[in-house]
A and B are shown apart, each in its own frame.
Chain A
Amino acid sequence: MTRRGEAALVGFAAVIAALGVTAVNFSRSVGVDATAVLTLVVFVVAFGSLHLAVREWAPSAIPYLVPLAAFLSAVGYAEVYRIDSSLGSRQLWWLIASAGIASAVLFLLRGRGVSVLRRYRYIFLASGLGLLLLPLLPESWPLRGAIVNSSRLWVRLDLPFGGTLSFQPGEVAKIAIVVFLASYLAERGSQLAAMTSRLGPVHMPEPRQLVPLGLAFLIAFAVLIYQRDLGASLLLFALFVTMLFAATGRHIYLGAGTLMIAGGGLVAWRAFDHVQTRVTAWLHPFDDYLGSGYQVAQGLFALGSGSLTGSGLGVGRPDLIPAAATDYIFAAVAEELGLAGAFAVIAAFALFTAAGLGIALRSRDLFRKLLAGGLTLVLAIQTILILAGILRLFPVTGITLPFMSYGGSSLLANMVLLALLLRISHEERT
């Protein structure tokens, strides 16, 4: 496929978004109005400008990623607009802004490429951790942490001209941490891979080398305790373990990581009410239907009511699901677009992951390989975690679905992630 194909598919995604809006409006007996046209224009401008930026500053990048991101954004946006049209119009602004920032990332990296990021490794680490800790700021400060749905992962900033800006720094932090890890592991991977010690029959790296793994575990656990955020905690730690494995090829890290997740999970389950609640809601959502099980149960009702072809956009009742526009957007899509729509979404994520991992596999430089792999994995793990939660394969973790959920921080972070992948793809093909 060529760049021209990419442009055509981006246009196709814009049409999907506009048709989605039209369907919603039709179901509201509004008919065709300016929102549909506005949607078409915004999608063409946002992803069109990103496409142009790719042509200009990453011309050799594979042409699959932008259309897939545009498609997921289009389906997500149509559903967000259906659930709450005022959220929809804000999401359009976020689309423009985050596509602009993604283009800016491509522009900034046009000269020396992603390897320039290695130089700022510890700045990325510090800013990543800082962003993670930001929600812990006192609530009386102008820039302050805020608790939403009992999780402390939001930061609010009072703007000088009135109004409040809310964002989830964790979404952006994950990218900074991937950059740090890729850079760190590219340098130290061989040492971590050296199995010089033994513990009984098991070959082990030097205990000193295990310190970073322990640190990552503690950070993830701290996030779980202080921010009560199961999703971000799990995502961070799973990311760390998979990247460590990718860099070293040593199964011991996977094994140790899995054990630590299991052990940490067990401790967290015994010690913290909010974890217990999540687990109970997962195992027995209908026991406390009106309480802790409500969201899981509503999600299942939505999925069941959607059946094969769905109720149609605007005709279902996704408004009954708590957090339908954010964490539970997949359940809303599955209700209104049915199994058909749900499969399209899962397939698009799988294709995005395949394309991303393909970039990693083809990268000759270890840093770029680990960066592309880490970025793809963080997106894939996030997708799998929230979908598995909705489908009751796993406790609900409360994280956004990339590109689809409503939310500026999430969209911005994933568009930057997309831009980095595009740049790496360009570099490995030139």
Chain B
Amino acid sequence: MNRPLRRLASVVFVAFAILAAGTTYAQVLAGPGYRDDNRNTRAILDEARRERGVILSADGALLAESISDPSDPRSFRRRYPQGPTYAHVVGVAATILADRGLEAELADTLESGRDATISGLFSALTGDDLRAHSVRLTIDDRLQHAAVEGLGGQRGAIVALDPTTGAVLAMVSAPTFDPNGLIGLTTDLGDALENDPSRPLLNRAIQETYAPGSTFKTVTAAAAIEVGGATADSLFPNPAQLALPGTTATISNFDGETCGPGDEVTLAVALIRSCNTIFGVIGMDAGAEDLIATAEAFGFNDAIPFALRGATSAVPDAESLVGDLAAVAQTALGQRDVRATPLQMALVASAIANGGVIMTPYLVDEIIDADGDVVDKTAPTEWRRATSPATARVIGDLMREAVDSGTGRNAAIRDLAVSGKTGTAEVPDGPPHAWFIGFALMDTTSPLALAVVIESGGDLGDDATGGGVAAPIARQLIETWVALIS
């Protein structure tokens, strides 16, 4: 009677052997494929639930924190109490979507290294501190909020920094988004933001380049003084229109008039009044090579060393301009192929404010371990020397006069020395970009350099100018800063 049972036993054991083989196949042979399948959310969830350290502003405002999931104490959820205000700087540690901002760049620092891997175990045994580190930024929360208010919903960006250290004090870009909405397992909001024609995910302060327009005249002036040996009092011819050599085009001033009375005007008057005709001449006098070399000394055509990756500001190749005086003249006015990020223009202002030296801009002031000890503090370093101290002083004084009595009057503050340069950058189709770059030294304690750009004229549209739209925002920011440090 046992033969059928024995047969059945063989069949059952063959089945068990097949199960063992099937398990081996699924876990080992096909295993890596299943493990790395992008629909397998394990890796993503693993990272997302890890604790990250907090991110603080310089004045202690909480910008990002990990709160533990009450249902699973090992799981953490990232929260951004400030919502959209820091969306571009702090960014977001998303779940499925790619991380953004400092959350992406500082992931290794912020993230707890504690995990269940063998290497994690070894590190724990050897006493490495794997707990999440926290980060204190250079951003001042109050100035950051003032910058958001300053933009007032208009598209654009503001960068404010300490010209003597390079510490970024405010960096905003509008439109923005709420990073809290990008956390989680859906990509709907991320996709919507990605496809939004106003490009809210773009950090305009560093990732977008604009024609700098007349703010670039500071660079052209530096080329004339530093290389061409000009002074503030050097005289230049004063036509109502500047014919561009080799073309039928002309350059005229904003009001269509000459740059004030007289057949000749000084460089000082030209900068204070922001005269295109004169700066066209100044640029052509300086020549393509000196103009481009000076722009490159200010950091154009070079990637700015910065915690967040941005676009590189550009001036055309000197060789491409040689012999094309019309192009040189337009380049001298910050038009044609000149493109600058707001951060780059803030660095131009800070070079003038800091005796010609550009400090490396930085966002992260301190890295703090889980015990609250500072384990790393950023020491300010020099990035490059743009001009001599004398040249910087001359241009700085002229910029101060531009605010006192020139195009930058809307940035003037009673009893405070503010230097600035406006720009109204023409755009092929549509209203101009309104610029203001400048600084206030505050008797050398807590100086502030900044760049403000309002895209496509902002609320004023075609009527916008740098002096009319961007300068008042700069004044508000400087006033806020004065109130904060006094």
Contacts and interface: CB of A to CB of B under 8 A. Distances in A.
Interface in A312-353: 312, 315-317, 320, 334, 338-339, 342-343, 346, 349-350, 353
Given A308-B27, A342-B27, A346-B20, A320 B116 contact: no
B4 A249 contact: yes
Given A27-B74, A339-B28, A303 B34 contact: yes
A311 interface: yes
Nearest to B19: A387
Given A307-B28, A312-B116, A393-B22, A317 B45 contact: yes
Contacts of B42: 301, 305, 316-317, 320
Contact of B37 (A301, A353, A366): A301
Q: In terms of DSSP, what is the predominant structure of the interface of chain B?
A: helix
A361 B6 contact: yes
Interface in A358-401: 360-361, 366, 369, 373, 377, 380-381, 384, 387-388, 391-393
B39 A297 contact: yes
B15 interface: yes
Interface in A288-314: 289, 297, 300-301, 303-308, 311-312
Contact of B23 (A312, A339, A360): A339
A316 B7 CA distance: 40
B74 A305 contact: no
A245 interface: yes
B41 interface: yes
A420 interface: no
B3 interface: yes
Contact of A29 (B32, B33, B39, B74): B74
Given A301-B37, A373-B5, A353 B26 contact: no
A339 B37 CA distance: 19
Contacts of B28: 307-308, 339
B1 to A, nearest CB: 7
A334 B23 contact: yes
Interface in B36-57: 37, 39-42, 45-46
A409 interface: no
Nearest to B15: A384
B33 to A, nearest CB: 7
A391 B34 CA distance: 13
B5 A360 contact: yes
Contact of A377 (B12, B16, B31, B37): B12
A320 B27 contact: no
A20 to B, nearest CB: 15
23 contacts: A242-B8, A246-B4, A247-B4, A286-B39, A301-B39, A304-B30, A305-B35, A306-B27, A306-B31, A307-B27, A317-B41, A334-B27, A339-B28, A346-B19, A346-B23, A350-B13, A353-B13, A354-B9, A357-B8, A366-B1, A373-B5, A391-B23, A391-B25
Interface of B: 1-9, 12-13, 15-16, 18-20, 22-28, 30-35, 37, 39-42, 45-46, 72-74, 116
